[in-house]
Structure 1
């Protein structure tokens, strides 16, 4: 067929992509075409700008590997990740809120026992993390899994240090009463990686490229909706302008200083947090439109 107008191109592209065999794809892809074409009509990119966009996306893909996800970082700084989290948050009113996954999660963190020191041999002020996992009914959840990771006292993950060894991350289980505790170091707020295409783009703006200090968790247990979340120290810098929009008020908690004790435990900070999971049965399956 002969396409002679902008509107005809959009209509035909939407028609073609609506033929996807999967019903959800047949819904999503025409919408993508519709809004992508609308952006182009409003922005009216030059051919050079169009090519610059293609080259940016190509460079973003090339820097991704099993320890660094630049595409997730791009989604994060555009606010898309947090918007998607909010649109899909299945929690009930009493459950712990979700936030972004971030670009530095890995799937093969080592296991650790309760009370372990994950920062053995790593500099930084010591931090004792303790708490529990329970359901919205208050019942403790034994043998829940906590997938934990964090940046170090200087704001670096191992991928940024060129290390192949897992660092300041672990998989831990709760006890029969739903309790957990471990030792680590106080996290530091940090800049997102600026050595890639996303960092270069941020540096062309006045947007803060910092994240507030935080600890990452994925909390899961059979029969419950997995929870992807952080906890943030109250009073931390950048809580009001987190570059990835990930701060939620319920996740800001005190990291209290604790003096050295006579039994040999040195001065440290302590944070206590109780994660509340939503039972899978509580979430009504909503049909996708």
Structure 2
């Protein structure tokens, strides 16, 4: 078949039945092309991605130069990824996608403690301790006494809950980044007693910057955003019959609370680190949802 063009242009042959694709019709063509797979969930996710991505291109009238720059950015992001560094996860963090996926995947009952991101510093291989142990590894800093309680949504204690904790030191470094440190520090696995309690001593965690020497750091600077995370204590709690809780406790006096680059701060997770003669104390109760 042929189509008519304005004067001065000759007819251009096209395949019979093949529509001419333009900015309005190409989206449906792509969706039709991907509609024959056997994985229904993949079709749903990929279809939504195509629709939103195409709408984005149309909304901002994306230029070829801008799209090439975006591809270059993603290429550099991938090239920086190693077994010890995941720049794409960092990109997901600063775009708020990590927290959004977490919020969708962990919808809690109103009285349960809110979830937050796991972060890159959790370790499956960590030492186990009895309640009251010192996990500071002898590192310098303000002494911190921590008392934690785990209960269910009815307020009943949860005995035998596995409580993982980990955090940065007074300079904002996790144990894997502390020069000269051998073994683990500022992390450990505890179990709650019959009354749902456990405790330990350590040093107060300081704020620290996310890695900013790669493409994500360049994006943060171009956006005028802070790379500093507020000081926090990571907590992960598992107990039979309950949904796993992964969360953090932030200092209420931290100057970076309102500008966390990975959007992990929630009002209910801001805690008071009380000052006393020996250092600081933190007391907090966690409420678990039943699975």
TM-score > 0.5 by shorter chain = yes
- Residue number in structure 2 paired with 1:192: 210
* 4+ aligned runs moved over 4 Å, structure 1: 159-165
CA 1:13–1:104: 2 relative to 1, 3 Å = farther
- Residue number in structure 1 paired with 2:164: 147
Structure 1 unaligned runs (5+)?
A: 260-266, 281-289
Task: Report the CA distance between 1:44 and its aligned residue.
Answer: 3.4
Question: Is 1:8 matched up with 2:19?
Answer: no
- Residue number in structure 1 paired with 2:113: 96
- Whether the aligned pair in 2 keeps the contact of 1:72 and 1:102 (CA below 8 Å) is no
Task: Give secondary structure in 1 for the equivalent of 2:171.
Answer: coil
Of stretches 114-123 and 6-15 in structure 1, the one that deviates more from structure 2 is 6-15
Question: Is 1:270 matched up with 2:281?
Answer: yes
Task: Report the CA distance between 1:139 and its aligned residue.
Answer: 1.6
- Whether the aligned pair in 1 keeps the contact of 2:148 and 2:199 (CA below 8 Å) is yes
Tell me how far apart the structure 1 counterparts of residues 193 and 78 of structure 2 sit (CA, whole Å).
Answer: 41
Task: Report the CA distance between 1:234 and its aligned residue.
Answer: 1.6
Structure 2 unaligned runs (5+)?
A: 1-17
CA 1:158–1:23: 2 relative to 1, 3 Å = same
Of stretches 59-68 and 225-234 in structure 1, the one that deviates more from structure 2 is 59-68
Superposed, 1:73-222 pairs within 5 Å as 73-161=90-178, 165-222=183-240
- Whether the aligned pair in 2 keeps the contact of 1:73 and 1:102 (CA below 8 Å) is no
Tell me how far apart the structure 2 counterparts of residues 46 and 161 of structure 1 sit (CA, whole Å).
Answer: 45
Task: Report the CA distance between 1:57 and its aligned residue.
Answer: 2.0
Question: Is 1:57 matched up with 2:74?
Answer: yes
Tell me how far apart the structure 1 counterparts of residues 175 and 69 of structure 2 sit (CA, whole Å).
Answer: 31
CA 1:159–1:32: 2 relative to 1, 3 Å = farther
Task: Report the CA distance between 1:164 and its aligned residue.
Answer: 8.2
- Supply the RMSD in Å over aligned alpha carbons: 2.1
The two structures have a TM-score, normalised by structure 1, of: 0.86
- Whether the aligned pair in 1 keeps the contact of 2:126 and 2:189 (CA below 8 Å) is yes
Per-residue CA shift, 1:209-245, capped at 9, x if unaligned? 2111111111111111111111011221111222222
Task: Report the CA distance between 1:82 and its aligned residue.
Answer: 2.1
- Residue number in structure 1 paired with 2:261: 243
Of stretches 157-166 and 24-33 in structure 1, the one that deviates more from structure 2 is 157-166
CA 1:270–1:177: 2 relative to 1, 3 Å = same
- Residue number in structure 2 paired with 1:285: none
The two structures have a TM-score, normalised by structure 2, of: 0.85
- Residue number in structure 1 paired with 2:8: none
CA 1:204–1:125: 2 relative to 1, 3 Å = same
Superposed, 1:275-286 pairs within 5 Å as 275-280=286-291
Paired residues, number: 273
Tell me how far apart the structure 1 counterparts of residues 36 and 192 of structure 2 sit (CA, whole Å).
Answer: 48
Task: Give secondary structure in 2 for the equivalent of 1:275.
Answer: strand
Question: Is 1:36 matched up with 2:49?
Answer: no
Tell me how far apart the structure 2 counterparts of residues 229 and 181 of structure 1 sit (CA, whole Å).
Answer: 17
Tell me how far apart the structure 2 counterparts of residues 248 and 15 of structure 1 sit (CA, whole Å).
Answer: 41
CA 1:69–1:204: 2 relative to 1, 3 Å = same
